[in-house]
Amino acid sequence: MTANGVLQIGLFLAVLLACVKPLGVYMAGVYSGRTPYLGRVLGWLERLVYRLGGVSREHEMTWRQYAGAVLAFSFTSLLAVYAVERLQGLLPLNPESLPAVAPDSAFNTSVSFTTNTNWQGYSGETTLSYLTQMLVLTVQNFLSAAAGMAVLAALIRGFARSSSRTVGNFWVDLTRGTLYVLLPLSFLLAVALVSQGVVQTLKPYREVAMLEPAVDAAGEPVTAQRIAVGPAASQVAIKQLGTNGGGFFGANSAHPLENPTGLSNFLEILAILLIPASLCLTFGEMVGDRRQGWAILAAMFVVFIAMLALVLAAEQQGGGALTKLGVDQVAGELQPGGNMEGKETRFGIAGSALWAVATTSASNGSVNSMHDSYMPLGGLAAVWLMQLGEVVFGGVGSGLYGMLMFAIVAVFLAGLMVGRAPEYLGKKIGAFEMKMAALAIILPSAMVLLGTASALAIPQGRAAIFNPGPHGFSEVLYAFSSASNNNGSAMAGLGANTPFYNGLLGLAMLIGRFWVMLPVLAIAGSLAAKKVSQNYIDSLPQPGRKRIAGSLQIGSRRHVAASAGTLPTHTPLFVALLVAVVIIVGALSFFPALALGPVVEHLMLAS
């Protein structure tokens, strides 16, 4: 690896860690009901939204009411997206006169953007009008991300409250997350991206003269090229910050008008992990103990760094077959070396590998290089990060509440090992919490394996596999790992824009999103009704005791004593246990499938 690559990655990690605390504390204030500085500017809009929606800010919901609101909102969003796509040919802001989207593709896309997956079986510049891109896709990028953050806020309140029947108000959480977190950050990033050359316009596509003579397939001379433009910067900003990932152009962030420079590349990668990483500190702040947030963040970083090292090593080493042909793959002053197939020369291996690991660990799904062209072990790291359950950073909100499901399993296992009742953040973990956590972890994993098996067993599934052998198998496994874990990235060798894949992948996205959300909210309601251990409160730092006391005012102030031998959950020991549980419980289910795909392909190349 080159010194330039080391510098890029080191600078990225330093900037990310520097932003985690201030943004995390700020978001804790937003979801705790405190008026942020932006309230002076946007407070009127927040109040207007409540008035138009008939929402009382003081009214709180039980977990069942909260879940019902999430489902109703998401279903309504799905129908709205589908309707606009099907009516696209009749609607304005369609300078290319693009027709309505096909029914199966419209269904897949509406499910995809509603579930924060943003899987795209189409090229945006040839399929969707400006109105569709802005009115439904960009808006859904905000709302689906805000919904995930709202569910996380409800779960955190479940940990922080004592003897309470409520976990917050979904409509308030949705509104405040959109107005005070996603909107201002997206505005700043969009302005920065425009300064780097990301296109933002409502003008029609541009005709430009060719710099060099060319001919088409029929041998006729081509003198001009039609360049797709549009309101891209505004969509790119929220697609990154909301861990959505859907590109304005088919090439996503490998497109020069969507990601033109090294600085835009750096900012877009940073945006992928910024909110998911900062939410760990939001969690620590809201439960009254920042050490808990740092512990969760440390566990995420351990897995992230390990997978980044694997991808960098695999891609920098390059392919053995090319070495035998005499191709020089050693990095030097005039070349980056390694496997540059499918990668942009302006980003190189370090910028591409960092993006690949960030996007598959954070449920983002955007790409600045083609994962289909990665070495087998590089592709294995990407698909494995998704198969962990998208909990290494993960989507905004969804990544952290997924990791907290693993934390519940970890403290339960620790309790079994020492013969004590498991406890996490002062709350006893019982059979109900374990059942719900198991459902949240297991069903998306089952959907990956069942979906892959179905696609390989049915002729319609096999017909779309363009690469034979283990690589073709890896492409199908990658697709269902991406859809079931709401990531959205893909290996391009699979022709997935067919009725079969659009339907089955759409089902996988729905299960991956809502089958996890509902058990999480059930756990939030169960924990909120329980008492907080007095010993746990006494163990908090003094500022944390004051913060947690404010949360406890919602319910009773009665507490229960912690059992002797309760595992502290802010120590390196717990971080190691949590990482082990994530790997063992979350990933070993896929070892046989990975052995049939990327592992076999790696052995074939090595031989």
Torsions phi, psi for 446 (to 5 deg):
-65, -35
Whether the pLDDT of residue 557 is over 50: the answer is: no
CA 430 – CA 526 distance, rounded (Å): 10
CB 5 within 8 A of CB 350: yes
Contacts of 266 (CB under 8 A, 6+ apart): 8, 11, 12, 351
Rounded distance, CA 563 to CA 560, Å?
9
Q: Give the mean pLDDT of 522-548.
A: 75
Q: What is the pLDDT of residues 412-433, one digit of tens each?
A: 998 888 777 788 998 999 999 9
Query: Who wins on pLDDT, 334 or 24?
Result: 24
The sign one gets for the Cα dihedral 110, 120, 586, 240 is negative
How does pLDDT run across 106-144, given as a tens digit for each residue? Answer: 999 999 999 999 999 999 999 999 999 999 999 999 999
Checking 325-331 for CB contacts under 8 A at 24+ apart, the result is 331/1, 331/2
Backbone angle region of 340, left / alpha / beta, with phi > 0 → left and psi within -120 to 50 → alpha: alpha
| CA 496 remoteness from chain centre | 21
Amino acid at 447: M
Average pLDDT estimate for 571-590: 90
Q: Where does the pLDDT of residue 559 fall: very low under 50, low under 70, confident under 90, or very high at 90 and above? A: very low
Q: Residue 558's pLDDT is what?
A: 41
Longest dimension (CA), the chain: 83
Q: Is the pLDDT of residue 510 over 80?
A: yes
Closest CA to 567 of 437, 406, 425, 400: 425
Q: How far apart are CA 92 and CA 295, in angstroms?
A: 50
Examine the pLDDT at 5 and tell me if it is beyond 50: yes
Would you state the pLDDT for residue 535?
A: 65
Question: 112 or 561: which carries more pLDDT confidence?
Answer: 112
The mean of the pLDDT values for the chain is: 91
**Residue 571: Cβ within 10 Å count:** 12
Q: Pick the closest to residue 362 from 268, 243, 274 (CA basis).
A: 243
Predicted confidence band of residue 439 (pLDDT cuts 50, 70, 90): very high
Provide the 8-state DSSP code for 35.
P
In angstroms, rounded to a whole number, what is the distance separating the alpha carbons of residues 347 and 339? 13
- Asked if residue 354 has pLDDT above 90, the reply is yes
Q: What is the pLDDT of residue 476?
A: 96
Q: Mean pLDDT throughout 143-163?
A: 96
Instruction: Please state the rounded mean pLDDT for residues 93-102.
Output: 95
Residue 439: which residues within 8 A CB-CB, separation 6 or more? 515, 519
Whether the per-residue pLDDT at 540 is higher than 80: the answer is: no
Using 50, 70 and 90 to split pLDDT, how confident is the model at 333? confident
Instruction: Give the residue-averaged pLDDT of 555-583.
Output: 74
Average pLDDT over residues 4-12: 92
H or E segment at 439? Answer: helix 431-457
What is the DSSP pairing of strand 532-533 with strand 559-560?
Answer: parallel
Name the residue ranges covered by the structural domains of the chain.
3-207+227-606
Summarize pLDDT for 34-54 with one digit per residue, the tens: 988 888 899 999 999 999 999
pLDDT score for 554: 40
What are the φ and ψ backbone dihedral angles of 208, each rounded to 5 degrees? -130, 150
Confidence check: pLDDT of 26 > 60 = yes
**Mean pLDDT across 182-209:** 96
Among 383, 382, 402, which residue's Cα sits nearest to residue 393?
Answer: 402
Length of the chain: 607
Check residue 329 and give its pLDDT: 76
Instruction: Give CA 106 to chain center in angstroms.
Output: 22
Show the tokens assigned to 441. 């972890």
- Mean of pLDDT values over 215-223: 87
